[in-house]
Amino acid sequence: MALHISNACFPVLGHSRVQRTRAVASEGSATLKIDEEKVKLGGSDLKVTRLGIGAWSWGDTSYWNNFEWNDRNEKDARNAFIASVDSGLTFFDTAEVYGSRFSLGAINSEVLLGRYIKERKQKDPEIEIAVATKFAALPWRLGRQSVLAALKDSLSRLGLSSVELYQLHWPGIWGNEGYIDGLGDAVEQGLVKAVGVSNYSEKRLGEAYEKLKKRGIPLASNQVNYSLIYRAPEENGVKAACDDLGVTVIAYSPIAQGVLTGKYTPENPPTGPRGRIYTPEFLTKLQPLLKKITGIGEKYNKTSAQVALNWLIAQDNVVPIPGAKTAEQASEFAGALGWRLTDEEVAELRSMASEIKPVIGFPVEKL
């Protein structure tokens, strides 16, 4: 079962070989601690790394992992978590529906993340890891109590007493005011440090912001599909509204589910559901942009994925959360920090991408 969603922001720091958060990254003559350069989410007091890691694929068998989950997949996911933390990336995003019974998953992503956090804290009790998870606005969930109940279930799966960020995964068919009330209740009960929404339009974003504001609670974030080749948040007013209200944009599918890495070609398109989105025809049109990304990457000794992520960070008020399935991917993503594209390069990439019809790289949220 799938829900189709129609609607769909600081200098950067870090390095792929950072050792936990105590290590440093150098840019020119400057040496800066990644842990000291976190960004606040909106008007909240919550600080997270400028780039997070998405855990959508962990445990999933309906969209990722070639429709199966085995010991190798779990080992890879654990190593991705370890490499992320070792690289200084300590902000992880998951959801109750990732890898759940709703999405025909093998094991819930929250369970895996909780397991990995517990293992890491046993070795390093002082490590600080920020967890973001989400409430599924399922049609039969009504009122503010449904939000609290779902949150407590998520906390149980994670093995935590609270999380840093709790988000509404998408707008509900009804009951949205109650859902916002539930977010406020979660903050007041100390179950979360900050709250956000996801896949919210400009109008819905404003309504949620104002409702929480009346309780003295800031709306920290709006998580949306945002990448170089899917810039709907710029075009539908969501990015501008977030900037105006002081709400951080969390960008999911920031490398277009791997397409912006250059690994896929018209002759070698993605498999599974992604193959129906990123067709050989689209990949053919994408080649000039991919070549430009590769060229810019060579200038900085960076990969295409790092360039695509850096482009998003350069938009300001944006925290990308690429999904990491392996340690190699997690370490690579950390290399998107510690350097900066020029304004001219940012504009050139946008101009080239504008000539390509946007593709919704994340057409459904798996339930």
What's the rounded Cα separation, in Å, for the pair 236 and 326? 34
Indicate if 98 belongs to the active site: yes
DSSP classification of residue 268: B
Q: Is 71 exposed, middle or buried (0-12, 13-18, 19+ CB in 10 A)?
A: exposed
* Contact predicate 49/20, CB 8 Å: no
What's the rounded Cα separation, in Å, for the pair 181 and 38? 29
69-75 long-range CB contacts below 8 Å, 24 or more apart? 69/99, 69/105, 69/106, 69/107, 73/325, 74/107, 74/112
* Contact predicate 63/74, CB 8 Å: no
Cα 235-244-242 angle, rounded to 5 deg: 55
> On the CB side of 128, how many CA atoms lie within 13 Å of its CA?
11
DSSP classification of residue 3: E
* Contact predicate 275/259, CB 8 Å: no
Q: And the tokens for 251?
A: 């960008």
Strand segments, DSSP code E, in 128-265 are: 130-135, 163-168, 192-198, 219-225, 248-252
**Which DSSP helix (H) or strand (E) runs through 243?**
helix 238-245
What's the rounded Cα separation, in Å, for the pair 309 and 189? 35
Place of tokens 């000794």: 301
H runs (alpha helix) in 87-142: 109-123
Backbone angles phi and psi of 222, in degrees to 5: -135, 115
Query: Catalytic amino acids?
Result: 98
